[in-house]
């Protein structure tokens, strides 16, 4: 295995095109980390650290911002607005037949138009999210009170940073290796590990050694579980009918239809986070207007978020709900059954048409349940640990772990594909 690893490295170094792709990826991630170190004006560092230490929810949002939110950098929103706009467009395919037709039937031109619309939606979303975050952080005393001109300048600065990251991510996807948006999130997660380890070791005592060993064992088990579950799939056998062409008869081939356990990936977690974030942002903006009921609602919701058991329970069930919802959007048993019937394929023992659709739908529902529960447990691991031990600052949570492992697996597969292409 070691020899194979070094052989791949030598091939990457010797092939100019592949080497340039890898170097472009490294350069883009370095530019992102440089931007993430530039804070917006007027940040109270002590109040910021205290805020994130006591708020597990914003710690999760920091994962999707690529680590920029914890620094209140000019890219504090990360690629969050672009991810949200992509989710909105995917939901629109369910509501509007024209958008669904554009995405599924118009080929590359339709997908390019779909992505272009997503980019357009990202701009107003970035502005709204920037305003909401800045108002919330100003009310918490983390950012100095801003006059209208300074507020507009900061909103435009933060929005531009998010749009710049969206552009950078698409450049990585086109000219680098792997998915650029996912790699930006991964870079933010990985950047927190060295500082987190050093801070934990600096403050550690002999009494903390059992806790560190326990967390290390939990992390190793979690990584192993994520790798296994990410690759897990239910294979539905597919057979093809024999074809007669003149005097020749071709025997039917056999293959299988893979149903992945994590069909929806981390999208349900993003859905749940977005839904839970919306009330807090709305109450924060309304509280700035001086409305008494909004201030009371914001205080109640802040208390709800601070309770790891109540908030974690709601978060867990929302992840399960959105897993089923997103799977139903992205995987259509009706279309799969129609395509099988058109190509002369069938599931052994199941009649083509409606019975095939029902069979596939039942398999998807059964497979989705353990995947949804696994996602929910990964999402609430930090809240469980916080409720049991009182520790609010974890080095890396379940959601971040899931994203990191999946991004690394995808990057390795993409590099292997590029190497295999050049070897043959």
pLDDT digit string, tens, across residues 365-395: 888 888 888 888 887 877 777 666 655 555 4
Give the span between the Cα atoms of 133 and 285, in whole angstroms: 9
Domain ranges in the chain are: 24-203, 211-406
The pTM of the full predicted model, rounded to 2 decimals, is 0.75
Asked if 24-203 and 211-406 have one fold, the answer is: yes
Q: Which CATH architecture has domain 24-203?
A: Orthogonal Bundle (1.10)
CATH 1.10.3370.10 fits 211-406, yes or no: yes
Beta carbons within 8 Å of 281's beta carbon, 6+ residues apart: 129, 132, 133, 136
> How remote is the C-alpha of 29 from its chain's centroid?
17
Nearest to 258 by CA among 395, 399, 367, 412: 367
Nearest to 397 by CA among 182, 184, 181, 189: 189
Digit-coded pLDDT (tens) for 157-171: 889 988 998 899 889
Digit-coded pLDDT (tens) for 281-295: 677 667 666 677 777
Task: Return the pLDDT at 424.
Answer: 59
């Amino acid at each position: 295995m070691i020899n194979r690893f070094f052989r791949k490295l030598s091939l990457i170094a010797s092939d100019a095109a592949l080497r340039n792709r890898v170097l472009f990826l490294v350069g883009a991630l370095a530019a992102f980390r440089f931007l993430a170190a530039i804070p917006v004006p007027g940040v109270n560092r002590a109040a910021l650290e205290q805020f994130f230490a006591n708020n597990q929810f914003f710690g999760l949002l920091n994962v999707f911002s690529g680590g920029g939110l914890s620094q209140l950098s000019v890219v504090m929103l990360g690629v969050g607005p672009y991810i949200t706009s992509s989710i909105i467009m995917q939901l629109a395919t369910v509501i509007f037949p024209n958008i669904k037709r554009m995405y599924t039937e118009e080929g590359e031109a339709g997908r390019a138009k779909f992505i272009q619309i997503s980019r357009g939606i990202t701009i107003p979303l970035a502005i709204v999210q920037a305003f909401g975050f800045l108002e919330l952080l100003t009310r918490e005393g983390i950012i100095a009170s801003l006059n209208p001109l300074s507020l507009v300048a900061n909103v435009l600065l933060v929005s531009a940073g998010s749009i710049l990251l969206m552009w950078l991510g698409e450049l990585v996807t086109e000219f680098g290796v792997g998915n650029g948006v996912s790699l930006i999130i991964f870079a933010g997660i990985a950047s927190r590990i060295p500082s987190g380890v050093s801070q934990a070791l600096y403050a550690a005592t002999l009494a903390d050694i059992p806790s560190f060993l326990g967390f290390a064992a939990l992390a190793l088990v979690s990584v192993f579980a994520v790798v296994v579950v990410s690759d897990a799939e239910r294979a539905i056998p597919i057979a093809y009918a024999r074809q007669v062409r003149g005097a020749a008869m071709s025997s039917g081939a056999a293959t299988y239809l893979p149903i992945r356990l994590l069909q929806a990936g981390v999208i349900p977690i993003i859905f749940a986070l977005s839904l839970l974030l919306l009330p807090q942002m709305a109450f924060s903006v309304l509280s700035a207007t001086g409305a008494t009921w909004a201030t009371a609602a914001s205080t109640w919701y802040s208390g709800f978020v601070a309770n790891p058991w109540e908030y974690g329970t709601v978060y867990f069930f929302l992840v399960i709900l959105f897993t089923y919802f997103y799977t139903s959007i992205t995987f259509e048993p009706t279309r799969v059954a129609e395509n099988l019937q058109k190509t002369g394929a069938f599931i052994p023992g199941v009649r083509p048409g409606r019975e095939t659709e029902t069979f596939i739908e039942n398999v998807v529902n059964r497979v989705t349940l353990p995947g949804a529960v696994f996602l929910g447990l990964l999402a609430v691991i930090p809240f469980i640990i916080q409720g049991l031990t009182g520790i609010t600052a974890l080095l890396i949570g379940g959601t971040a772990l899931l994203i990191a492992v999946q991004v690394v697996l995808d990057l390795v597969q993409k590099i292997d594909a590029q190497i295999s292409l050049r070897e043959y």
